[in-house]
Amino acid sequence: MASSANICFAVPNAGEVSAILVRPQSAESLLVLAHGAGAGMNHPFMQSLATELVAVKVATLRYQFPYMEQQRKIPDRPPVLTATVVAAVDAASKAAPDLPIFAGGKSLGGRMTSLAASERGLGAVRGLIFFGFPLHPPNQPGTKRAEHLRAVKLPMLFFQGTRDTLADLNLLRPIHTELGSRATLHVIDTADHSFHVLKSSGTTDGAVLQEIARTVSVWTRSLVR
């Protein structure tokens, strides 16, 4: 069983945005979860991920960036996005002051969370989780988007698919190695950027989400004990 609550919080100079807090009765931690560039907090992936996390005792606070709240197609500039991440973490701390907090997101949401951590700090956040870190534009290999990760002092968990055209694993693995013990890389065979897997993989998209949720649970528990 889980409770769900709709909340709003203010982003400096950008208005209010919506959020959804989903908390299992026996929650052990709370993940502040940002959406990707092209779809908001109610995208099926975001909803399904939150549901699977409930099953492993991880609460979630999903929230909108201002551009998505205002139904604009082009994402806000990074200063607005990182300010939203900071405000979301603050809102989560107030909504569930008894739970250890983690933060992250899908694609753009994860990258902006890490940028906020590197530039602004994220208070009581224990670690960052990336569901498809967008290392570079589709099929345009590069590592510039990861340069700020060196300044992130928190533990980081990366979920990446072997077919993700936004993250060449040949480029991501050396970054993971450079980050040392701060970084954990969980690779999902045949998964694309949306974590869809090929039938030949022998698994299903649903099973992949369950695998992701279980891994989140084990990793977060290791950081709060």
Strand order in the sheet with 183-188: 2-11, 15-24, 58-63, 29-34, 101-106, 128-131, 156-161, 183-188
Residue 34's closest CA among 4, 66, 2, 3?
A: 66
Residue 106, amino acid: K
Q: pLDDT value at position 225?
A: 74
Q: Give the residues across from 212 on adjacent strands.
A: none
Which pLDDT tens digit goes with each residue over 190-205?
Answer: 999 999 999 999 999 9
Return averaged pLDDT per consecutive 10 residues of the chain, 225 residues in all: 94 97 97 97 97 98 98 96 98 97 98 97 95 95 96 97 97 97 97 96 96 98 91
Residue spans per domain, the chain: 2-224
Domain 2-224 in CATH 3.40.50.1820? The answer is yes
Backbone angles phi, psi at 60, to 5 degrees: -135, 145
Q: How far apart are CA 102 and CA 110, in angstroms?
A: 12
The number of beta carbons lying within 10 Å of the beta carbon of residue 75 is 17
What pLDDT does 1 receive? 80
Confidence (pTM) = 0.97
